[in-house]
Structure 1
Amino acid sequence: MNEQKIIVGCAEWLSLPSLHVPAIKARVDSGAKTSSLHAFNIQGFKRNGESWVHFEVHPIQKNRKTTIRCEAKVADRRIVKSSNGEREKRHVILTTMELAGKTSTIEVTLTNRDNMGYRMLLGREAMQGRILVDPSEELCHGELSKDDITNLYGVPEKKSEGLNIGILASNPDLYSNQRIMEAGEERGHNMHFLNIKHCYLKMEAEHPEVLSRGGHSLNMLDAVIPRIRPSITFYGCALTRHFESIGKFALNTSDSISQSRDKLFSMQLMLKHGLDIPTSGFAHSPMDTNDLIDMVGGAPLIVKLLEGTQGRGVVLAETKKAAESVINAFKALNANLLVQEFVKEAQGKDLRCFVIDGKIVASIERTAAAGEFRANIHQGGQASIVKISPEERTLAIKAAKAFGLQVAGVDIIRSRKGPLLLEVNSSPGLEGIETATGKDIAGLMICAIEKKLGWKPQPKEESPE
């Protein structure tokens, strides 16, 4: 009977005709019982007394512009355990699948697979009796080119009824910048990437402007999202300040960014607001090195350059002699530095709490890479979902408020004395926290702008009864 079965590899293109999805690349996984489909904006409703669900699908991986709106009758609601061990209650639907010219009806659960490798997973229940898997092969029934996908889906129409939002940054290829652009476009806004170095100011009483290279005025923007590299903080904040002065909303203000970038000032600001931090010391003269070491409890201790970022310029001195050498070497270079107690019980872990508009929207625990003493995703560290305590939650929210930040990445370390505030980041990266939590953090940032400016999406032309 095997000759009647379809032989597939570890991934295949297929279609879902009843959902009007002409092509979607699925991961073939006989280890998973149930198939799953990437879906978002999932909403149940009643039709003729029966349970239905409508939802949206991005059928092409790494493409948020192509969207298919679907609806289907609900077959079940079921608790499903994902590959990372999380349990989630999902809608279950029955839909038709076409693969290798053969059509069958399969059961599919709806879930957000945005951070997974494939938009669909084909489980063993959908394969029983009709499909054989050769895991050494892939795309046994053909690959689709970009032209093929364009022919199937067309070019997404650009929506124009939304806000004009600019991302003030340096690198359009960074994950965080791409995600914010995608999230804004997905919600119907006109997104503009503004290279900080290509922007300049016109300061005039009657008609002040921010312009981009070539003399193009940026005064048409409704809002800007500053994503400023530490190395160009001064100029980036000057641009942000000018946008603010001409009445444009900045998701993080120039003052809040400036305060967060000055490590010494930021720690003084934390203390002013009664926020607990690791014991730290600062001095100008090398003559005070021994006092600095003693005031933080001696070695081992942390030495931090005030201009460092993303873990750079942070040194662990394990002995008093090593601490003296590092401190004096930095001071000989006229570098400003902080000396800070080393919290051994943290075991190379810290918490990153992502705060948007005064609420914690996601939290992760970061673990240092082997051989490192500080957790840092940029240096090979790992991230995982974590449940934070009410005390940690309060500390993170108060910290973002103290700096006046609408969007902040708040770093906290757990110690015997309780949670301690390490740093407040005004341009927190999205990749680590979105990947670990599966949450649309970029979309929540766009929502914060919509809320501030009182913008609401246009109602859809069709809605279920």
Structure 2
Amino acid sequence: MNIGILSRSTELYSTRSLYRAGKRRGHAMHVIDHTRCSLMIDAAEPNIFYQSKPLDFLDAVIPRIGASVTGLGAAVINQFELMGIVSPTSPEALQLARDKLRSFQTLVQHQIPVPKTFMINPSEDLKEIVEKLGGFPVVVKMLESTHGEGVELAHNAWSLQRIMSEFFRYENRLLMQEYIAEARGADTRVLVVDGQIIASMRRQAKPGEFRSNLHRGASSIAIQLKPEEENLVKEVVRVLNIEVAGVDLLPSSQGPLVMEVNASPGLEGIEGTTGKDVAGAIIRLVEKKVKANKRKD
């Protein structure tokens, strides 16, 4: 098969891991910078050009779309689908997971537990919202934050105003969440492929930091999920209709809460921590989807 990896750099760990996994299974792998593609919109013969060459020879693409180009990435995936080229991540799933507000709305619609969250605008009465969240500290997030960027903890009214003023320079709506103190800077990252849990790890923020992102110096260990956690994760990906996902769970006194869902999860931390071949599982899903697509044709 000819499989394209939609990635802006061949140096990224996830890109290289997927490339090697595809090669091990005998596929021709192609790294394509989706921000440099030209889309030909034509009802009879839609196509995509990259470096002046058509990409209609591909059987499948694997999106590795950054948060800063979500809209463009979704359009490129959609164009490939119009061409009959399959992807393990649909444009709808990518955009839904990236928009924390919409994804949370969808989850609570299906009675899936998440931290208590407010969507706020610059004119909101912040004092009243903080009280409804149980008081300080509170977590403030941009809607498309990643790697802990665009996520801050406000300990008092002064720090909250400072964070809001900074974030509102980039977005006109933000999320404010209750702070789950009992988590103590820990969370659980779970990688799901085709409805199956492939790997899971516990992350612990470094001292003085509440964000448990490995990019921020957090530590991690491989773990076995509890049955309630497994069931929760599988329900999350079913509800959001995501075939490749990173699901982050936050421990709380009420049980695990869904903190975030990522439709383009990084592979370096989870593969390095657990030793699991997540990239290989994604390649096998792509093979399955291509075969199904050919049977359909």
- C-alpha contact (below 8 Å) 1:286/1:328 kept by paired residues: no
Q: Which has the higher strand share?
A: 1
Unaligned runs of 5+ in 2: 293-297
| SS across alignment from 1:432 | helix
Report SS of the residue matched to 2:22: helix
Deviation (angstroms), 1:220: 1.1
Q: Please report the TM-score for the alignment, with normalisation by the length of structure 2.
A: 0.94
Contact 2:143 2:175 in 1 (8 A): yes
Tell whether the 8 Å contact from 2:122 to 2:173 is kept in structure 1 after alignment: no
Residue 186 of structure 2 contacts residue 212 of structure 2 at CA under 8 Å; is this kept in 1? yes
Which residue of the partner structure matches residue 295 of structure 2? none
Q: Secondary structure at the match of 2:81?
A: helix
What's the counterpart of residue 415 of structure 1?
252
Question: Which residue pairs with 1:361 in the alignment?
Answer: 198
**Residue 200 of structure 1: how far off its partner (Å):** 1.2
Q: Distance in 2 between matches of 1:167 and 1:398?
A: 28
Name which structure has the greater RCO, CA cutoff 8 Å, separation 6+.
Answer: 2
Q: Which amino acid aligns with 1:404?
A: N
- The change in CA–CA distance for 1:286 and 1:328 in structure 2 (over 3 A counts) is farther
Q: CA deviation at 1:198?
A: 2.0
Aligned-pair identity (%): 40
Structure 1 position 349 matched with structure 2 position 183 = no
Residue 160 of structure 2 aligns with an amino acid whose one-letter code is A
From the two aligned structures, give the one with the greater helix fraction: 2
Give the whole-Å Cα distance in 2 for the aligned partners of 1:255 and 1:397.
19
Deviations 1:201-243 (A, max 9, x none): 11112211011022x1111111110110111111111000000
Residue 296, structure 1, aligned to residue 116, structure 2: no
**Within the alignment, does 1:382 sit opposite 2:219 as a pair?**
yes
Distance change >3 Å, CA 244–CA 179, structure 1 → 2? same
Structure 1 residues 213 and 277: alpha-carbon distance in aligned structure 2, compared to 1, 3 A threshold: same
What are structure 1's unaligned runs of at least 5 residues?
1-162, 456-465
Q: What whole-Å deviation, never above 9, does each CA across 1:123-148 have from its counterpart, x for those lacking one?
A: xxxxxxxxxxxxxxxxxxxxxxxxxx
1:287/1:257 CA distance change after superposition, 3 Å:
closer
Q: Find the aligned partners of 2:136 and 2:165 in 1 and give their Cα distance.
A: 15
Q: How well do the aligned residues superpose, as a CA RMSD in angstroms?
A: 1.5
Q: 1:391 aligns with which of 219, 223, 228?
A: 228
Could you tell me which residue of structure 1 aligns to residue 94 of structure 2?
257
Q: What is the CA deviation profile of residues 245-289 of structure 1, one whole-angstrom value per residue up to 9, with x for unaligned ones?
A: 111111100110011111111111111122100001112243421
Residues 283 and 221 of structure 1, relative CA distance in 2, 3 Å threshold: same
- Name the CA distance, whole Å, in 2 between partners of 1:337 and 1:182: 39
Alpha-carbon displacement from aligned partner over 1:285-315 (angstroms, at most 9, x marks no partner): 4342122212211101101112321100111
- 8 Å contact kept, 2:142–2:171: no
* 1:93-242 superposed matches below 5 A: 163-214=1-52, 216-242=53-79
Q: Out of 263, 267, 270, which is 1:426 matched to?
A: 263
Q: State the match for 1:340 in structure 2.
A: 177
TM-score (norm 1): 0.61
Question: Which residue of 1 is the match for residue 123 of structure 2?
Answer: 286
8 A contact 2:191–2:244 mirrored in 1: yes
2:287 paired with 1:450: yes
Cα deviations across residues 352-407 of structure 1 (Å, max 9, x unaligned)? 01000001111000111232111001111111111211111111111112221110
Tell me: CA distance 1:449–1:299, structure 2 relative to 1, closer, same or farther (3 Å).
same
